[in-house]
Amino acid sequence: MTTDTTPNTKPGIVLVTGAWHTPVHFEVLKVALEAQGYETYAPRLPTLGATGLTWRDDAEAIQQAVERRMDEGKEFVVAAHSYGGVPGCAATKGFTVRERAAAGKKGGFRAILFIAAFAIPEPGLDLLTAFGGRFPDWMAYDLPSTSTSSSFVHPTAHFAFYNDVPKEDADRYFELLERQSQDAYESPVDCVPSNCGIPHTFLICENDQAMLLPFQEMLIARIPTLKVERCSAGHSPFITQPQRVIDVLSSM
């Protein structure tokens, strides 16, 4: 028997879920990535099922999920979906390949992909402000919010999230959604694409019914450093077009 000892030079992939979504929602993409030789992590975000927690708690969980492998020299690409763009970007702060090398450490984050995600255009904004100061109609939330507020979705979010997913699968994924700390969306950010220090790409989802195409294009227009890719999927290309997502990741 021979053993393949060729080192895996592909970057690791960290999948960061959108609001109310769990790592299970990334199962199709994660399996496909691993089948193509990508070491893949999909940490559960602490804001799920919680109150009073913010994107900072999620960013720390993302860092903790891969820090040991970074110490061993592994480089990673973040693939962040929807809300995940906020903690996914924040997690890179102090953890980029360049920053870690300056501190005498190996590994680190080398790029980030925003999958129809909140690429916040400037520091000091929160997700709600980036959304125009008003949450979408399919979202259930407290107004005004408090430290004990959590958010969820109305049944109309089924179409918004999974309009191009086969109904049986869409029903299952919708049932897997969980409540999430509302503070996650209303805490100003400090790390944004323009100051994260690593290449950043936005994957436009042209048939997205949750983050509509004009809104995606508005975000992109405010961040000229973003490289732009496109797909014809709805809000969940990690379910319906996993290979397209992998093709974009492989170029990073």
Query: Domain residues for 56?
Result: 12-250
77: pLDDT strictly greater than 60: yes
Q: Is residue 7 a part of any domain in this protein?
A: no
Q: Is residue 4 a part of any domain in this protein?
A: no
- Quote the pLDDT of residue 105: 98
- 150-174, pLDDT tens digit by residue? 999 999 999 999 999 999 999 999 9
Beta bridge partners of 13: 40, 77
**Helix (H) or strand (E) run with residue 31 in it:** helix 27-35
- Quote the pLDDT of residue 224: 95
- Quote the pLDDT of residue 213: 98
Min mean pLDDT across 31-40, 155-164, 185-194 is at 185-194
- What is the value of pTM for the model shown? 0.94
- Mean pLDDT confidence for 123-134: 87
Q: Would you place residue 192 in the very low, low, confident or very high pLDDT band (cuts 50, 70, 90)? A: very high
- Quote the pLDDT of residue 7: 67
Residues of the chain above pLDDT 70, percent = 97
Q: Is residue 109 a part of any domain in this protein?
A: yes
- Quote the pLDDT of residue 6: 59
Min mean pLDDT across 67-76, 147-156, 161-170, 242-251 is at 147-156
Q: Would you place residue 128 in the very low, low, confident or very high pLDDT band (cuts 50, 70, 90)? A: confident
Could you please report the per-residue DSSP string of 189-224?
Answer: -S--GGGS-S-EEEEEETT-SSS-HHHHHHHHHT-T
- Quote the pLDDT of residue 4: 46
Q: Is residue 191 a part of any domain in this protein?
A: yes
2: pLDDT strictly greater than 50: no
119: pLDDT strictly greater than 80: yes
Q: Is residue 154 a part of any domain in this protein?
A: yes
CATH number at residue 155: 3.40.50.1820
Domain count for the chain, please give it: 1
Q: Is residue 1 a part of any domain in this protein?
A: no
Q: Cα dist. 121→44, 125, 129, 191, 216 in Å? A: 26, 8, 11, 10, 12
- Quote the pLDDT of residue 148: 83
Q: Is residue 99 a part of any domain in this protein?
A: yes
147: pLDDT strictly greater than 80: no
Residues 95 and 185: their CA atoms lie apart, in Å, by 23
More confident residue, 147 or 178: 178
Q: Is residue 6 a part of any domain in this protein?
A: no
Residues 196 and 39: their CA atoms lie apart, in Å, by 23
